[in-house]
Structures are given as structure tokens and as C-alpha cells.
Structure 1
Amino acid sequence: MQRLDVPVDRPYRHLSLHLYDREREEWSLYWSDARTGVLFPAVSGRFRDGRGEFHGDDTHDGKEVRVRFVWSGISAESAHWEQAFSVDGEETWVTNWIMDLTRR
């Protein structure tokens, strides 16, 4: 796993769109960044007991992958987020992006 540290002098610009479906009681999270300008397919799920887990389908390097986002450690001042891919029907996951967020 590689760690991505975004230098303060080189901001990483992105957009995250979170939509809530009241009938399904489920969130859909969409992501885009300034490098591609593409809105990636949604991951959907819910928060329970202070943890959010969201799944969706996407492609990476031309291969179909199952994507998982996990939000945890959520407080008024911080949160932890992880992205993982599975290529074997969710038997195994490879975490490829971790972010620890803090309020300034």
C-alpha cells in the first residue's frame, strides 16, 4: 500500500457529492477530481454505530473492480476514510487509499 501525502503547497482538488435516498435509507457517494473531470460511479451504503460502509462497481487499469469506502473514527474534529478494491467477488480486499481528516 502506498501512502499519498498531498503537499500543502500543491492542493488536491476534488468534488465529493453525497445524496441521501429517504425511501432506501441509503447514501450514494460520487467522486470526481480535477485531473480527469470525470464523475466516478457511485458507492452506496449507510452509517451504523459510528461507521459508514459503501460499495459499488468501477474499473481500475481496465479491470472491473468492486469498490469499498469505509468511514470510521468520526468526531466533530476528525474522521478516518479508506478505499479498497476487490477483484474476487469481495473475498479479499486491497486497501489502496487512506485519509485521516482533521478540522482546521
Structure 2
Amino acid sequence: MRECSPATFIPSSFAKYNLLDGISTDRSIPNSLQISFLLRTRSGSGQIIYLKAPNAFLSLSLRNGLLIYEALVDGDVKKRSSDSMMNDGVMHNIVASSSGLYIDDKLSGTKSL
């Protein structure tokens, strides 16, 4: 795992990462993919992560202060909302994978959208 420095984003900002290492030749998102990061924000909305492959996607975004997890895995679309507000200015540890969403080491996103 590589350490990254903090970043501040304005509405037109974006970061682009290449995830080719460990991705199969059919360019699908592996079922074992796990993304973790720290998030501190006061913003109520915005796209945080969006990964897309021909038959899969993983999206994390903020809507009305809630973290929204959406994923297409094995033909099944999962949509979940965090159990608490994320735009409180507090640092949160976020772990997202094809199996679910963890916030501050607790299973979250149990609310189905």
C-alpha cells in the first residue's frame, strides 16, 4: 500500500489513477478489490471514486452529507447509504470493496437505496 498526501479539491478538481496492476486482461474489476482512504470534508455532495469496467463498476459519492456506495458485482447492483453524516469535518477511515462499506472500522451502508 502506498501512502498519499492530503489533497484539497475544488468543484473542478479530479485525480486520476491507473489500476492496471492486478487487473485481469479482460479489464474487469476484481472481486477482491478493496479501496481504503481517509476522508475529512464539510462538503455535502461530490463524486469521490468511480471505477468502471465493461461489466462492473464501483462508485463512492457524497449526497446530502451521506456517503453513497454503488457497485455492480457479478450482475448484481448494490446501493447503500452510510449510517451517519460524513460532512462533519471529522477524519473518517473509509474501506470500500465489492463486499461492502466500512466506516471507522464498522460495517456501514446497511440502508439499501
- Range into which the TM-score falls when normalised by the shorter chain: 0.3 to 0.5
Query: Greater share of strand residues, 1 or 2?
Result: 1
Highest RCO, 1 vs 2 (Cα 8 Å, sep ≥ 6): 2
* TM-score, normalising length: structure 2: 0.31
